[in-house]
Amino acid sequence: MDQAESVRTPSSWVVVGLDNGGTCNNATVLDATGQFLVSSLVENPSRVTDGPELAVDSLAAAFTAILELTQTPLSLVRAVGLDTPGPASAHGVISSKGATNFNQVSWHGFDIRGALEARLGMPVVYNNDANAAALYAHHRHFGTSALEKSSVSAIVGTGLGGGVVESGKVIRGAAGMAGELGHVQIPLHGVLEDGQPVPVCNCGFEGDVESIASLTGIKKNLLPYWLTRFPDHPLAAEPVEKAAKMLRGYGEKDDPLALAVFGQQARAIGKLFTIAANFTDPDAYFLGGGVVEAAPHFRQWFLNTVRESTQLRDEQARAATFALVPDLDMAGARGAAVAALDAVAAGAR
């Protein structure tokens, strides 16, 4: 495991947060006073491509290593928070059709939360990775007033994840599929150019947010169209998958093609947030994902475009905040830990 730059030892009981990704697990420890004991990434290989058994072993190894790093006795740990990419049930059962990073048949319908709970012998609280990041953004932004506030988060990555938080709690829904904001279909007027094909999502929907505001949307829908408008662009000579990944670097240099693509993404998220405003009227709208990891001027431009594209009533505009998800590479593990801390506190009441 990588050494954290700054490590505290616990002064009270704790929970552990584990963020499971396609390449690495990230781990953190949160004590009962709300203080994180590590201030940077602490990672180990996730081994998800080696199947469920070895992946659960790697999560258990991450758990053990973070306790050793923070000098936390096992007896102080009350619960573990776990997040993984979805789709999965609210209780951590991977979709029967597989999921991001979990495409081998052995993962289909696998209860990763239950398996880790059995492995560690303690309660495990599950969220998908976008919900965990949304929960962390909410609690980090609102602090002591988090339980009195609401928020909606859009996390732009390979797909588009999201989270709806009400009174400091993630809204899960009856089947555990609330907050799947990527698959909300949006009005396309003001987003697409005249004559631009209606984008299609991998889920089969036309014109949902993910079909535009995601890496997949760039590769499948936006970039092929815009390269017809900029046929001499350097990216035209690259395979589309490589070009899609290179596009953000061009955006940071204010390249016209890249700004056209990312402008459409920002306007699509603005349409999503407009819908959210009429459903939940949240206190805050958070934006996370690759755009947050970009150069400061570019991510601020993107956030400003999202804000300008979100149609709010005057009363809503005065009350609501737009902000970036902080500590993005650590947001999943930290959000998972926050969920575990909340679960322990609720059980104590």
SS3 readout for 192-213: CCCCCCCCECCCCCECECCCCC
User: Could you tell me if 194 and 285 lie in one domain?
Assistant: yes
User: Could you tell me if 130 and 186 lie in one domain?
Assistant: no
Assign 3 a pLDDT band (cuts: 50, 70, 90).
Answer: very low
User: Could you tell me if 296 and 204 lie in one domain?
Assistant: yes
User: Could you tell me if 236 and 117 lie in one domain?
Assistant: no
User: Could you tell me if 151 and 111 lie in one domain?
Assistant: no
- Res 95: pLDDT: 87
Assign 97 a pLDDT band (cuts: 50, 70, 90).
Answer: confident
Instruction: Give yes or no for residue 71 having a pLDDT over 90.
Output: yes
User: Could you tell me if 261 and 285 lie in one domain?
Assistant: yes
User: Could you tell me if 178 and 311 lie in one domain?
Assistant: yes
User: Taking all residues of the chain, what is their mean pLDDT, rounded to a whole number?
Assistant: 93
Instruction: Give yes or no for residue 103 having a pLDDT over 90.
Output: no
Domain contains 3:
no
Tell me which of 266 and 86 has the higher pLDDT.
266
When pLDDT is averaged across residues 32-37 and rounded to a whole number, the result is 93
User: Could you tell me if 206 and 287 lie in one domain?
Assistant: yes
For the chain, the domain total comes to 2
Domain contains 204:
yes
Domain contains 7:
no
pLDDT tens-place string over residues 144-162: 999 999 999 999 988 898 9
Domain contains 5:
no
Domain contains 46:
yes
Domain contains 200:
yes
Tell me which of 98 and 214 has the higher pLDDT.
214
Instruction: Give yes or no for residue 80 having a pLDDT over 60.
Output: yes
For the chain, report the end-to-end CA distance as a whole number of angstroms: 36
User: Could you tell me if 164 and 79 lie in one domain?
Assistant: no
User: Could you tell me if 129 and 170 lie in one domain?
Assistant: no
Domain contains 219:
yes
User: Could you tell me if 226 and 303 lie in one domain?
Assistant: yes
User: Could you tell me if 162 and 121 lie in one domain?
Assistant: no
- Res 348: pLDDT: 62
Assign 347 a pLDDT band (cuts: 50, 70, 90).
Answer: confident
CATH number of the domain that 336 lies in? 3.30.420.40
Assign 96 a pLDDT band (cuts: 50, 70, 90).
Answer: confident
Range of the domain at 85: 14-135+330-348
- What type of residue is 4? A
Domain contains 1:
no
Determine the angle formed by the axes of helices 129-142 and 328-348, rounding to 10 degrees. 80
- What type of residue is 205? F
